[in-house]
Structure 1
Amino acid sequence: MISSTPRVGWYGLGSMGLGMSLNLQKYFQANNLPPLRYSNRTLSKGDALRDAGAIPGDFGTVVQSSDVIFTMISTDDVLVALMKDVVAMGFSLEGKIFVDSSTVHPETSEWVSKHLNDHGASFIAAPVFGASTVAAAGTLIFAVAGPATAVETIRPLITDIMGRSIIDMGEDVRKSSLLKISGNILVISFMEVIAEAQVFAEKTDIGTKQMEEFIGNMFGSVLQSYSKRITSGAYAPLLETGPGFAAALASKDMKHALSIADGHNVRLHTLETASKRLNTAREYAGECLDSSAIYGVGRMEAGMSFWSQNSRQGNESSK
């Protein structure tokens, strides 16, 4: 039975996971609660978390020492492997709650839920909407699905700490994964359309600055921020800087969306175009690309260079 103040663990310290877990640890410290325990494939990525008072360790120790365990990882395979590993360790999982905030296929969420339930643990699929800056600000949107009692246990760990709102998707864990993938259909499709508009603006001498100003005035700050990822050159950042929403992860998410759509006889024409362009970008410019790198391919198709004045200029480091 989990107490009113559960012990919390964390695995996965990428650009999203680090910001989320830091907000959680700061909350625990400010309220004199037990510190967060964390693990990661590269433990040194959690140095800022350790400095904030969290306790590092291997994944098994984190699970054993925690009532609630959050995961934020990159791919379905990593999540499945983690859950297989934790069961193979042999200690009791009875009553523990696992919360995954990654973007994975609904069938993966369903498999993890059953796998953990068979060993006495509960699983909540809680993917998030928002970039790494939103994660750091603690204003993510969570789509949450899982056993109602478990959801109520973790709700105080999310609201006004890691997220600004929770969308309740019921008990079927596939539903929150589906909503997340649906959200990414919109996000990547918006990026595709904005990329096309900015290529048009450059080729016709409207001006990318003027197009961006129009996008902000007409459609708001969110879509304007997508445009800024293009015009700032962040679509192809310096190799030592790294991307915001990595092209490889966006391609994985689009693959999930397109496969689910195909299974339901639905065509996602804009996403199909974006997927082809992003894969072309990765083949041309490597993996240090943002999801907005579809813009670079749009430029090439219009007879311009993949690289803009503000992006890096090739696949070699600029140092």
Structure 2
Amino acid sequence: METIGFIGTGNLGYPIAVNLLKAGYKVKVYNRTREKALPLEQLGAIVVNSPEEVAEKGGIVMSLVADDKAVEAIATDALLNALGEGGIHASMSTISPDTSKALAAQHAALGVTYVTAPVFARPDAAAAKAGNGVISGPAAAKERVKPLMEAGFARKVFDMGEDVGSANVLKLIGNFMIAAAMELMAEAFVLAEKNNLDPRAAYEMLTTTLFASPIFRNYGAMILDREFAGQPYFKAALGLKDMNLVLQTANKSYTPMPMANLVHARLTTVMAKGSKDPDWLALASGAFEDAGR
């Protein structure tokens, strides 16, 4: 199997890199904090000291980093020249569609194809390859990247066409809908509490019938258990970054999104309180606090 470059071994990137190694791929890994990538050496990965060192001529580099600036920081001429003509950079980060379009043009100027391939999965789902992927960009490059997404985290990959920004838009829509669902459930459960209805009974009925989906089932249980602190799976700071991107995209296209403004405000409040690295689930605490619970 070919050697795959992988940049970014955080909470989500790490299990994806592990799965690629288990699938038999040779993997070169770079992480800004080198120590976080070192355990992958025990599984056969080669840990390198710069983004460009992960690249093979004409090969594929996958990246999963925090935000637009982080993607721009790794997508240097050094990396693109190392990939060379026919090389592919598959960006799995949640970033602005405009940033992806600018990166695609930068890559094309040096003969490299840029593909957008965001991840829908929490770390445990990625590890179990139970996540979902979305992908957009040139057709031939997508066909090379899709098997890596399936080997790394995805039970299914959804193709959003050739516009590289399209998969970014879908990722932002998806994250907005998850955040809105958390707000919806928090409001509904506190309404149940304050009207002498057992919220767990409401949860069991609703999440096994009308709202039978992993988002409502999994996040609903965590909201009932007030799991707003502790080790975050997805940090509130990243959730706030995503809601900023949602509203930025909405404003540019003159799309009113009052619910997006609400969850943005909830996440801003979470961050303003200075909690140490809370999970974005903490946005649901606002509905309970507003209701005196």
TM-score (normalizing by structure 2): 0.92
Q: Deviations over 1:236-256 (max 9, x none)?
A: 22xxxx211211111111111
Corresponding residue number in structure 2 for 1:244: 233
1:179 aligns with 2:170: yes
Structure 1 unaligned segments of length 5 or more: list them.
305-319
Q: Does 1:142 align with 2:133?
A: yes
Distance 2:212 2:287 in 1: 24
Shift of 1:296: 1.6
- Relative distance call for 1:302 and 1:114 in structure 2 (3 A) is same
- Indicate the SS of the match to 2:220: helix
Partner in structure 1 of residue 92 of structure 2: 101
Matched positions, count = 290
How many Å apart are 1:21 and its aligned residue?
A: 1.0
The answer (yes or no) to whether the contact 2:86–2:111 under 8 Å persists in 1 is yes
Q: In 2, are the aligned partners of 1:11 and 1:71 still within 8 Å (CA)?
A: yes
| SS state at 1:36 partner | strand
| Equivalent residue, structure 1, for 2:119 | 128
Q: Percent identity?
A: 29
State the shift of 1:283 in Å.
0.7
1:1-319 alignment runs, 5 A limit: 5-28=1-24, 33=25, 35-58=26-49, 59-64=51-56, 67-84=59-76, 86-87=78-79, 91=82, 93-218=84-209, 219-222=211-214, 223-237=216-230, 242-304=231-293
The answer (yes or no) to whether the contact 1:71–1:101 under 8 Å persists in 2 is yes
Contact 2:57 2:85 in 1 (8 A): no
Structure 2 Cα separation of the partners of residues 61 and 106 of structure 1: 27
Give the letter for the 2:229 counterpart.
A
Q: CA deviation at 1:285?
A: 4.0
Q: Would you say the 8 A contact 1:192–1:270 is kept in 2?
A: no
Measured in 1, the distance between the counterparts of 2:276 and 2:99 equals: 25
Q: Which moved more, 1:150-159 or 1:203-212?
A: 203-212
Q: What CA distance in whole angstroms lies between the structure 1 residues aligned with 2:192 and 2:78? A: 52
Cα distance, 1:216 vs. partner? 2.0
Unaligned runs of 5+ in 2: none
- Residue identity matched to 1:231: L
Q: Retained in 2: the 8 A contact 1:7–1:65?
A: no
Distance 2:238 2:194 in 1: 30
More deviation, 227-236/141-150: 227-236
Could you tell me how far 1:152 is from its partner in structure 2?
1.2
Q: If the length of structure 1 is used for normalisation, what is the TM-score? A: 0.85
In structure 1, C-alpha distance between the alignment counterparts of 2:252 and 2:99, rounded to whole Å? 16
**In the aligned structure 2, how far is the partner of 1:229 from the partner of 1:203?**
19
User: Does structure 2 conserve the Cα–Cα contact (< 8 Å) formed by 1:6 and 1:66?
Assistant: no
**For 1:69, what is the secondary structure of its paired residue?**
strand
Which stretch shows the higher mean deviation, 19-28 or 266-275?
266-275
In structure 2, what residue type is equivalent to 1:255? N
- Quick one: distance in 1 between partners of 2:252 and 2:260? 16
**Displacement after TM superposition at 1:167 (Å):** 0.8
How far does residue 24 in structure 1 lie from its aligned partner after superposition? 0.6
How many Å apart are 1:195 and its aligned residue?
1.3
Amino acid at match of 1:21: A
CA distance in 1: counterparts of 2:99 and 2:241, whole angstroms: 14
Moved over 6 A (4+): none
Deviation at 1:160, TM superposition (A): 4.9
